[in-house]
Amino acid sequence: MNLKDKVVLVTGGGSGIGRATVERFAAEGAQVVIADRNRDAACDLAQVLGDCALGLEADVSNPASVKAMVQATMQWRGQIDVLVNNAGFGITGSVIETDEADWDRLMATNLKGVFLCSKEVIPIMASAGGGAIVNTASYTASAGIANRAAYVASKGGIVALTRAMALDHVGQGIRVNAVAPGTIASPYFDAMFAQSDDPDALRRQFDARAPMQRMGRPQEIANMIVWLASDEASFATGAVFTVDGGSSAW
Ligand SMILES: NC(=O)c1ccc[n+]([C@@H]2O[C@H](COP(=O)([O-])OP(=O)(O)OC[C@H]3O[C@@H](n4cnc5c(N)ncnc54)[C@H](O)[C@@H]3O)[C@@H](O)[C@H]2O)c1
């Protein structure tokens, strides 16, 4: 994959898809910054991985925090070759059921967070001659799904922003792509299942939503993210790569 000693910044790297992505990059020999709002999750994972990792508390919705995150990364290894804009969360509800404050809070992390982090990192990549950005979108951006209006809108925004950034920075050697996961068994869903009256029944319902009859594993998304960041994907930019067990083919 040619990722040895590349410096990779993963937002939301303390859990689920982000954590699996951090682990896969580390296994490929990269130097990985784990940036997460959850400080303990980021630092605990960094400690397990050792010298190749740095854990940072960062909030991608906050411009000052994003600047500090990028500065700390530069102080640590002096370059940023790969940015994975992965931090995000979901809320349920139609438009009429979604509070304006909740809409703003979700957009501030899921969509504005991609803008803020990219805005800080792109000049660094450009002055080094290039880099790769991978954004975590969702298959729901194109397939649509009920009862997730704000979340789906944020992911649609990420898809559009991915294409715009790819075209704006292709001349600087920066590739920008998105991965569109299907439903992935991450701590986010574990927490949701745990709150229901019958967690096992709800989990089986989710499994049945994909033609493969199961939820995906975080590692199955990490594999695509790492590939997109690598030189093996050298002709891929401005594209969305769906990894959803066939859900959007239904
Ligand atoms: N799990 C799925 O089925 C699924 C499907 C499609 C897309 N996604 C997307 O994948 C990404 C990761 O989701 P996951 O399922 O691994 O969730 P997760 O909850 O396991 O992990 C998300 C991580 O992001 C961090 N985070 C949240 N807001 C943050 C902020 N403002 N700043 C910094 N860190 C923040 C959390 O602390 C957490 O560690 C999200 O963007 C999510 O929308 C997930």
Separation CA 143–CA 227 (nearest Å)? 24
CA distances from 226 to 135, 143, 163 (A): 12, 24, 19
- Check: CB of residue 56 under 8 Å from CB of residue 9: no
Task: Check residue 136 and give its pLDDT.
Answer: 98
User: Which of left, alpha, beta for 213 (phi over 0: left; psi -120 to 50: alpha)?
Assistant: left
Sheet hosting strand 174-181, strand order edge to edge: 53-57, 31-36, 7-11, 82-85, 131-136, 174-181, 240-243
Could you give the CA distance from residue 115 to residue 136 in angstroms, rounded to a whole number? 13
Check pLDDT > 90 for residue 188: no
Please determine, for residue 178, whether its predicted confidence score (pLDDT) is greater than 80.
yes
Side-chain-side CA neighbours of 119 within 13 Å: the count stands at: 13
| C-alpha 52 – ligand 1 centre gap (Å) | 23
How sure is the predictor about 250, in pLDDT bands with cuts at 50, 70 and 90? Answer: confident
- In angstroms, the CA 134 to CA 125 distance is 14
User: In 3D, which of 17, 240, 248, 216 has the Cα closest to residue 144?
Assistant: 248
Among 69, 155, 188, the mutation site with the greatest number of ligand 1 atoms within 8 A of its Cβ is 188
Q: Mean pLDDT, to the nearest integer, of 209-217?
A: 94
Please give the share of the chain, as a percent, with pLDDT higher than 70.
100
Condensed to tens digits (0 to 9), the pLDDT of residues 221-236 reads: 999 999 999 999 999 9
- Is residue 56 within 8 A of residue 33, CB to CB? The reply is yes
What's the pLDDT tens digit per position in 38-56?
Answer: 999 999 999 999 999 999 9
How confident is the model over 85-95, as a mean pLDDT?
Answer: 97
Ligand 1 contact, 16 CB (< 6 A): yes
Closest atom of ligand 1 to CA, residue 151: 43
- Our answer to whether residue 151 is catalytic in this structure is yes
- Asked whether the predicted pLDDT for residue 168 surpasses 90, the reply is yes
Give the list of residues 6+ apart from residue 18 with CB closer than 8 angstroms, or none: 10, 11, 12, 34, 36, 84, 86, 87, 136
Q: How confident is the model at residue 94 (pLDDT cuts 50, 70, 90)?
A: very high
Local structure of 129: helix, strand or coil: coil
Using the predicted structure, report yes or no on whether residue 57 has a pLDDT greater than 80: yes
- Local confidence band at 83 (pLDDT 50, 70, 90 cut-offs): very high
DSSP 11: E
pLDDT score recorded for residue 209 = 85
pLDDT of res. 1: 83
pTM tops 0.95, yes or no: yes
The structural architecture, per CATH, of the domain 7-181+216-241 is 3-Layer(aba) Sandwich (3.40)
Torsion of CA 134, 129, 62, 32, to 10 degrees: 60
Chain mean pLDDT for the chain: 97
Bridge-partner residues for 83, per DSSP?
9, 133
What's the average model confidence in pLDDT over 120-139?
A: 98
Q: Mean pLDDT over residues 136-154, rounded? A: 95
Instruction: Note the pLDDT of residue 37.
Output: 98
The pLDDT, as a whole number, for residue 144 is 76
* Residue at token pair 């809070």: 105
- Looking at the DSSP bridge assignments, the partners of residue 180 are 242
Atom 2 of ligand 1, nearest CA residue: 184
